[in-house]
Amino acid sequence: MGRADAGVDRVLLSEERIRERVRELGKEIAADYEGKPLLVVGILKGSAVFLADLIRAIDLPLDYDFVAISSYGADTRSSGVVRLLKDLDVSVKGRDVLIVEDIVDTGWTLRLSYLAENMRARGCRSVKVCTLLDKPSRRKIDVGIDYCGFVVEDYFVVGYGLDYDGLYRNLAYIGVIDPNKCRSG
């Protein structure tokens, strides 16, 4: 059996850098939402590791939940359909919702899921988006990002929840993967 980091080229963001930045984000979010009923909504599965650390850096009463969205294939992208595979278990009515993503790349997932619109239609008080990583060079469609951990260049990154073909989510850092192994981007 190989190791968890087999095939990773180099470390892009160390465990320490991530920890520091997540702490800063938590403070910023706590200051912005003071006195509000915050509901943190993670998009499965990539955001789970980030969300787990982020909520512990937000010193406010809050709850969290997850949604799952179908990842698009080539045909889905052109048909413009992204399905909600798992909905929230809790009500968003009257609550301030913070959507948490691992990475915003083309923007299609956030845009085509209509997640923010969906939350508003259900009577939430506000919706904001927090992403650990932003890859703006690959953006195809504009999506509003309210909190961003790091802006990254156009590398395929793995670790800290992000996967390549179901692997590497358990790395404590964010690494760049060997491009020869990853042609689909």
Residues involved in catalysis: 105
Alpha-carbon distance 28 to 146, whole Å? 11
For residues 67 and 157, which CB has a smaller minimum distance to ligand IMP in the complex? 157
CB closer to ligand IMP, 51 vs 158? 158
**Could you say whether residue 96 binds ligand IMP (CB under 6 A)?**
no
Helices (H), the chain: 15-32, 48-57, 74-79, 108-113, 115-121
In sequence order, which residues have a C-beta less than 8 Å from that of residue 121 and are 6 or more positions away?
none
**Closest approach of Cβ 149 to ligand IMP, in Å?**
13
Q: Does residue 157 bind ligand IMP (CB under 6 A)?
A: yes
Is position 102 an interface residue for ligand IMP (rule: CB under 6 A)?
yes
The yes or no reply on residue 46 touching ligand IMP (CB under 6 A) is yes
CA 172 – CA 15 distance, rounded (Å): 6
Give the burial string for 70-95 (b: 16+ CB within 10 Å, else e): eebeeeeeeeeebeeeeebeeebeeb
Q: Which span sits near ligand IMP by CB under 6 A: 27-35, 49-57, 84-92, 152-160?
A: 152-160
Regarding 18 and contact with ligand IMP (CB under 6 A), the answer is no
Q: Which stretch binds Mg ion (CB under 5 A): 38-46, 55-63, 75-83, 165-173?
A: 38-46
Buried (b) or exposed (e) across 31-49, using 16+ Cβ within 10 A? ebbeeeebbbbbbeebbbb
Q: Which does 131 bind (CB under 5 to 8 A by kind): ligand IMP, Mg ion, none?
A: none
46 is a contact residue toward Mg ion (CB under 5 A):
yes
Interface with ligand IMP: number of residues (CB under 6 A): 14
Binding mask 106-145 for ligand IMP (x = CB under 6 A): xxxx------------------------------------
Q: Select from 161, 185, 181 the least CA-distant residue to 173.
A: 161
107 binds Mg ion (CB under 5 A): no
Q: Provide the 10 A C-beta neighbour count for residue 58.
A: 22
